[in-house]
Structure 1
């Protein structure tokens, strides 16, 4: 009696608690409600095991009502099974079977096949105990059919899994074969590219070798041409002056010259011829050194004005003889940074060119100025001038292109001015020429102010 009273009080407290909580269901999520109904079913199961069937039944009924209200079928199935267990406790097998069948229906609807099989077997056993063999067999058949269906489904799933695995293995094998083929193709492509690259390199190497051979051949041909041109210059440049000197000496020897003035005039003419020949030989020597790389550049601070004065003194006799007007406006305060010997040769060659190719009573002017970061020395004359072709030949970098002409005032001009251009370039300087036939010439010498 006391035990039943305690059970009733527990049920009342639980029911009141759950009813109070579920009144606020609108504030709870469906998962919260499911959890609370599940707790009711768990509590009902525990009470049934303790044979408190009345309390368990009331808890199960509450869980069933709530499950149906909120459409929670799995908890409704559990509540029906708990109610069936309670009716069995009360020896009411008919009601127990009814609730078991409802639990089976819900589990089958939920595809909860394990629970449905267990309940079919349980119902079949109950019906067999009551002598209801036909219905017992029906549930046994339902059990077997469901079991067969489950087994078939499992077999299908296994077969599908095996087919999927087989298909995956086939796909993996095909992928591996494709990868091997791709790798083989890439390897073949790499080998082909390597072979083509090697072939191209061989062809390029052959082309370079042939080009170098042709360049070397061309270089030696040009050296030979340069040698021939040099011998030609020497033979042409010296044959005339030596012949003239020989003729003068023959004239002196063969004729009795008592007039000192006439003899002096002949000797002066001979000296000019000798000076011209000497300048030609000196230029050829300097040009040869420049082309063979035997010249060393020793730059230093030099006075351009002093070099101009020294070289003008060398041509004093020729200047007086040809009655030239010399205008020297080169400042003694203008300095350049270059090899003094080379610049001395440059100034001497350009002055020699102006003296030689300027007619009697002509004028030679010299100026110096600072142009940006360079010293500009300008030498102008009123001589015979030069054509554009002659200037281009002088300024050409080809060392073989050395001009020579037997006509008046044209001897050794090309080689002297080429030496000037070459020496200035070696000293980071520059030569520029402006000239026209019969209009005189202007030579612009650019020299660096510092290293």
Structure 2
């Protein structure tokens, strides 16, 4: 038993150290906060020392940052904000130089009124982890775990959860560590980052293994080992093989343990070889630098000898350069003119293609609509003479549907032509989706009443997106028109939003109608096809409206997708950027 305990402890130390080191590389979204530092430096550009220290900080020159922040802090006219930012730059620079105690002192000098004080807590938590002050780290991270989601812009909540789990694991508080480490595994499985997932499995495996819950621990060790096979990181392969060797030795599977030990030794040799290669490469670089220095010295001597000759050729070269410059100027002007001509030709070809498509649609679909109206009117005259009121009512409704379809076609053609010829006007503004949906639905209530369709607007009044209002109305109108057209009598149409993405809001138009096959669904999502093949021959449609929708959604920086199954209805999903 004592031998097993010693082996397990060794195994735990190996995995915990490797997992901690890998995770600390991504504590904060540094680039985002660097932009804050950059803006603040520009705002205080008159404070020369602060501006210079911020510039050195952004270029990762830590020593220069420390020098100029000290000069700034010695200025008696400093504002409290400049002081706080100066202490932050110093604390971060000390942290990067591994001077953790000095970094702690600087971070603790920052006032609680600092606009990003929660980031200071994160930094102090990182330093406490580096110094293995786990209880102190927990106090910092527990303050961060209760923050609202809006504050997790510059670091991730999953980072806080993971570090809390590690701290509790180091302290032997297994029950407290378990939920954090399980959550970390779930997150990394979703992200599919191989290296991080291997470490996440290792952390959870160690948690169970230290408690002698082998049945729970070993599957995670095995997952980590199998996943390391896909990794190119030799150190990860090395540690995973060692872990499995120790596990199999504890299980008395000595043959397997020996195989893992051999694999571990192979990776160990690879690591040693890699280190040797790095050393040789370093020596080669040093030798190359020395050789280059000698070469530079020789060239300097040669240059001094050629100074006189160079001065004699100087004026000749200047004349040649002037002639070359004039020649290049006229050549570039000619190239520029040719590019303009080619671009104009391509634009003209595009416009001609657009014209051909428009003529094709007009000749085909308006002819179909007029022919249908002509046939219906002939029947109308016959039934009028026979005074067949039921048939008259039915034909009049059919005529109304045909005329409405032709009108929508012409309206779509107009907007599509304007879009293709870049004549449409766009103004991206903040829009509340609920009221736009209400307005569009109100215009289509008569058509829905004719088919006894139940309509539900489930869009939240709080959902706001960035879009052009008029083009969004055209998109909603076409999607509602399609939903009504392909819905059965007594059907249901629902419009609602889905907010599972931080960047986009999904607006869903769902009907319980005819649906479509997978082939037709994929065909409709293509950008190249103007006209789509009809799934239902009895329903008039060209597919132009849907193509117009896709073009307008793309111009609004949005995305479009379709979910449907033949006979089970359709979901048209419009994803638009959220208002921040």
- Residue of structure 2 in register with 1:392 after alignment: 526
Contact 2:428 2:469 in 1 (8 A): yes
**Mapped partners of 2:413, 2:569: distance in 1:** 25
Contact 2:558 2:577 in 1 (8 A): no
Are 1:376 and 2:506 matched, yes or no?
Answer: yes
Segments of structure 1 that go 5 or more residues without pairing to the other structure are 1-176
The offset of 1:318, in angstroms, is 4.1
**Alignment TM-score, normalising by the size of structure 2:** 0.40
Segments of structure 2 that go 5 or more residues without pairing to the other structure are 1-304
- Residue of structure 1 in register with 2:84 after alignment: none
Q: Per-residue CA shift, 1:9-65, capped at 9, x if unaligned?
A: xxxxxxxxxxxxxxxxxxxxxxxxxxxxxxxxxxxxxxxxxxxxxxxxxxxxxxxxx
The correspondence of residues 84-233 of structure 1 with structure 2, limited to 5 A, is 181-192=309-320, 195-196=323-324, 198-233=326-361
- Residue of structure 2 in register with 1:147 after alignment: none
The offset of 1:325, in angstroms, is 5.3
- Residue of structure 1 in register with 2:148 after alignment: none
- Residue of structure 2 in register with 1:353 after alignment: 482
Are 1:306 and 2:438 matched, yes or no?
Answer: no
Are 1:315 and 2:444 matched, yes or no?
Answer: yes
Q: CA RMSD in A?
A: 3.7
**Mapped partners of 2:428, 2:522: distance in 1:** 33
The one of the two structures with greater contact order (alpha-carbon pairs below 8 A, sep at least 6) is 1
- Residue of structure 2 in register with 1:239 after alignment: 367
- Aligned with 2:379 (options 244, 251, 256): 251
Q: Per-residue CA shift, 1:303-327, capped at 9, x if unaligned?
A: 4223323333443454455565544
**Mapped partners of 2:426, 2:469: distance in 1:** 9
**Mapped partners of 1:265, 1:411: distance in 2:** 17
**Alignment TM-score, normalising by the size of structure 1:** 0.50
Specify whether residues 207 and 297 from structure 1 end up closer, same or farther in structure 2 by C-alpha distance, changes over 3 A only.
Answer: closer
The offset of 1:288, in angstroms, is 2.8
SS in 2 for 1:388: helix
**Mapped partners of 2:570, 2:510: distance in 1:** 6
Count of residue correspondences: 270
**Mapped partners of 1:410, 1:214: distance in 2:** 43
Contact 1:302 1:335 in 2 (8 A): yes
- Residue of structure 1 in register with 2:394 after alignment: 265
**Mapped partners of 1:178, 1:369: distance in 2:** 74
Contact 1:377 1:446 in 2 (8 A): yes
The offset of 1:440, in angstroms, is 5.0
The offset of 1:218, in angstroms, is 1.4
SS in 2 for 1:377: strand
Q: Per-residue CA shift, 1:251-270, capped at 9, x if unaligned?
A: 22245232211111111111
The correspondence of residues 8-27 of structure 1 with structure 2, limited to 5 A, is none
- Residue of structure 1 in register with 2:530 after alignment: 402
Contact 1:330 1:368 in 2 (8 A): yes
Contact 1:404 1:411 in 2 (8 A): no
- Aligned with 2:573 (options 432, 444, 449): 444
Specify whether residues 258 and 296 from structure 1 end up closer, same or farther in structure 2 by C-alpha distance, changes over 3 A only.
Answer: same
Specify whether residues 354 and 198 from structure 1 end up closer, same or farther in structure 2 by C-alpha distance, changes over 3 A only.
Answer: farther
Specify whether residues 189 and 411 from structure 1 end up closer, same or farther in structure 2 by C-alpha distance, changes over 3 A only.
Answer: farther
- Residue of structure 2 in register with 1:367 after alignment: 496
Contact 1:358 1:384 in 2 (8 A): no
Specify whether residues 189 and 412 from structure 1 end up closer, same or farther in structure 2 by C-alpha distance, changes over 3 A only.
Answer: farther
**Mapped partners of 2:339, 2:486: distance in 1:** 44
**Mapped partners of 2:333, 2:538: distance in 1:** 51
Q: Per-residue CA shift, 1:197-234, capped at 9, x if unaligned?
A: 55455444333322221110111121122122112222
SS in 2 for 1:392: coil
The offset of 1:450, in angstroms, is 4.0
Larger radius of gyration: 1
